[in-house]
């Protein structure tokens, strides 16, 4: 389907001239002389790009711009004017215009601007995060996508559009659970590398020797258990994008090898002498201050500067509470379908409670709370009682001191279970012991597989169990099947 261009001007001669100019541009061009019919056309046709003259009878191009953006926030609009006034240009850009041009129009420049505006529009429609409620369709329910239309997130979307197609190294900073990997995937999905591999590695999930092997590969006999040559993620990802999560936890030795990849796009496998050349874009993420780590001499300054060519700061959920209702709707619909529930929505008071909660675990915490509430909901509407035990339990987690607990997790699990124990007893009469133990084991297996990027060998080592035992548990709990 050809992209659509709508041109609105009360001067018919200019309209015909522009229509003829774009005739060979592989676009469906529509012209309108009236702002009212133009708005109707936007509703019915959903053009990709529009050109509005600023001075029109009944409704100015600036007013039409505002109304058009309410209909379709992704529509890229170029404002034209016969008056060379600074205020018009400022007002047009403040209202969300893609560009502002004065007459007489430079057709070559206009065509170039329309092409860039089209690319921006297609990016906005195609990117896997969803800004508008109308795009929250069933096809997205099973995907992990970034959504949000808060001012903070809009700035992030704009930045993605600017840098996605470059090869610039990206550093994403943000608290745990804010969606750093989802942002990395969005950048990848809209880059020229989108048809090549995307691989994610959690640098905090693996010991130093295993992380080097995971990233750079190893030769046979290079260390204990190295029974065969292993191809690392950088080789597997040649031509694509690699996402290095929790980059601040990387050892100094691995940092040095990574710096070499960034500078020269080359490395050697662990225990090897052959220099391997790769073409890989690196997107890194951290939930800690790398600058502080540099001051503490646990992170290399030269690597820090190499990584932060483009930096994103993902805001915590509490700082973009406008997005909580949309996220809540997504998760309710997702888990309702997953558990074959007929939940229609959420009560206003329950939504108010969610919107004012601190969400220290950010989107990940909200997702888990909605998951649990949907499972336990007895009606077709989520009410405050469906959330009370989980929000109380989360409040109790603040008091847990893992360092003080040492190897005795009695205090940890007491704090977790106490607020929901009555509900568990009621729901699991006579079987609470088995059900809670199985639930805990399944959670450990699932989280370990996630941290190890579904690598069974690494997940088994993380858990301290044999690979055969892990396989048995994966089969038992239908994980990954």
CATH entry 1.10.10.60 includes domain 430-477: yes
Query: How much is the average pLDDT of 269-288?
Result: 92
- Tell me the CATH architecture of domain 317-395: Orthogonal Bundle (1.10)
- The whole-angstrom separation of Cα 427 and Cα 421 is 10
The residue assigned the tokens 């420049």 is 109
| Same fold: 317-395 with 430-477 | no
CATH class of this structure's domain 162-313: alpha beta
Angle between helices 151-163 and 107-126 (to 10 degrees): 120
pLDDT category at 56 given cuts 50, 70, 90 is confident
Give the contacts of 101 (CB within 8 A, at least 6 positions apart): 78, 79, 80, 81, 109, 110, 113
What's the number of CA atoms in the CB half-sphere (13 Å) around residue 270? 26
> Tokens standing for 59?
């409704």
Dihedral, 126, 131, 133, 136 alpha carbons, nearest 10: 40
Q: Which pLDDT value is given to residue 299?
A: 94
**Residue 294 phi, psi (nearest 5):** -65, -45
Residue 15 has pLDDT above 90, yes or no: yes
Q: pTM for the complete prediction?
A: 0.59
Range 285-308 average pLDDT: 93
Does residue 124 register a pLDDT over 70?
no
Sequence-separated (6 or more) residues with CB below 8 Å from residue 325: 351, 355
Specify the 3-state DSSP secondary structure of 265. coil
First to last CA, the chain: 37
Residue 144 pLDDT > 50, yes or no?
yes
Domain boundaries defined on the chain: 4-126, 162-313, 317-395, 430-477
- Confidence grade of residue 48 (pLDDT, cut at 50, 70, 90): very high
Instruction: Return the DSSP state at 258.
Output: H
Pairing type for strands 28-32 and 99-102 reads unpaired
Given strand 310-313, what is the order of strands in its sheet?
Answer: 198-202, 241-245, 281-286, 170-173, 310-313
Ranges of beta strands (E only) in 96-222 are 99-102, 170-173, 198-202
Q: Write the DSSP symbol of residue 143.
A: S
> Exposure of 334 by Cβ count < 10 A (0-12 exposed, 13-18 middle, 19+ buried)?
buried
**Contact yes or no for 256/300 (Cβ under 8 A):** yes
Q: Give 264: exposed, middle or buried? Use CB within 10 Å, 0-12, 13-18, 19+.
A: exposed
Q: In terms of pLDDT, which residue wins out, 119 or 109?
A: 109
Higher pLDDT, 272 or 1: 272
Residue showing tokens 């391997």: 276
**How far does Cα 129 stand from its chain's mean position?**
6
Query: Residue 345 forms beta bridges with which residues?
Result: 381
Closest CA to 9 of 34, 36, 46, 30: 34
Residue, of 222 and 423, whose pLDDT is higher: 222
Considering only CA atoms, which of 303, 301, 278 is closest in space to residue 216?
278
Distance CA 35, CA 51 (A): 12
Superfamily of domain 4-126: Response regulator (3.40.50.2300)
State the chain's mean pLDDT as an integer: 84
d(CA 147, CA 129) in angstroms, rounded, equals 5
Phi and psi torsions of 246, nearest 5° = 55, 50
What would the pLDDT profile of 329-353 be if each residue is shown by its tens digit? 889 988 998 888 888 889 888 898 8
For residues 246 and 293, give the distance between their C-alpha atoms in angstroms, rounded to a whole number: 12
Task: Work out the average pLDDT over 267-278.
Answer: 90
Q: In whole angstroms, what is the distance from residue 118 CA to residue 246 CA?
A: 36
DSSP conformation class of 315: P
């Amino acid at each position: 389907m050809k992209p659509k261009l709508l041109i609105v001007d009360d001067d018919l001669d200019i309209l015909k001239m522009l229509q003829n100019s774009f005739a060979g541009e592989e676009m469906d061009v529509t012209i309108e002389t009236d702002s009212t019919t133009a708005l109707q056309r936007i509703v019915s046709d959903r053009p990709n790009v529009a050109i509005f003259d600023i001075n029109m009878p009944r409704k100015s191009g600036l007013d039409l711009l505002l109304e058009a953006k309410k209909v379709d926030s992704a529509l890229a609009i170029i404002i034209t004017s016969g008056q060379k006034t600074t205020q018009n240009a400022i007002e047009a850009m403040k209202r969300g215009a893609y560009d502002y041009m004065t007459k007489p129009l430079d057709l070559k420049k206009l065509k170039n601007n329309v092409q860039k505006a089209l690319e921006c529009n297609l990016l906005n429609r195609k990117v896997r995060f969803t800004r508008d409620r109308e795009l929250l369709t069933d096809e997205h329910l099973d995907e992990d996508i970034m959504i949000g239309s808060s001012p903070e997130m809009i700035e992030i979307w704009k930045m993605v559009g600017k840098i996605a197609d470059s090869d610039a190294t990206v550093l994403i900073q943000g608290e745990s659970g804010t969606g750093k990997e989802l942002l990395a995937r969005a950048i990848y999905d809209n880059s020229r590398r989108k048809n090549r591999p995307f691989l994610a590695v959690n640098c905090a999930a693996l010991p130093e020797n295993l992380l080097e092997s995971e990233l750079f590969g190893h030769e046979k006999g290079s260390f204990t258990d190295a029974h065969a040559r292993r191809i690392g993620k950088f080789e597997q990802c040649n031509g694509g994008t690699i996402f290095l999560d929790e980059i601040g936890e990387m050892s100094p030795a691995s940092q040095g090898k990574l710096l070499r990849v960034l500078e020269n796009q080359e490395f050697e496998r662990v225990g090897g002498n052959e220099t391997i050349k790769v073409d890989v874009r690196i997107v890194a993420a951290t939930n800690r201050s790398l600058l502080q780590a540099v001051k503490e001499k646990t992170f290399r300054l030269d690597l820090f500067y190499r990584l932060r060519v483009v930096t994103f700061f993902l805001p915590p959920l509490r700082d973009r509470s406008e997005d909580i209702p949309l996220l809540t709707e997504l998760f309710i619909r997702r888990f309702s379908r997953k558990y074959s529930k007929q939940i229609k929505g959420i009560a206003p008071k329950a939504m108010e409670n969610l919107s004012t909660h601190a969400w220290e675990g950010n989107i990940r915490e909200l997702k888990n709370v909605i998951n649990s509430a949907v499972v336990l909901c007895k009606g077709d509407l989520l009410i405050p009682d469906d959330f009370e035990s989980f929000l109380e339990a989360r409040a109790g987690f603040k008091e847990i001191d893992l360092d003080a607990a040492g190897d005795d997790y009695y205090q940890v699990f007491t704090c977790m279970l106490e607020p929901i124990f009555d509900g568990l007893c009621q729901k699991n009469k006579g079987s609470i012991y088995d059900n809670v133990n199985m639930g805990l084991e399944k959670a450990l297996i699932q989280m370990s597989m996630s941290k190890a990027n579904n690598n069974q060998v690494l997940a088994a080592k993380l858990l301290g169990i044999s690979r055969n035992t892990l396989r048995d548990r994966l089969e038992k709990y239908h994980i990954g099947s």
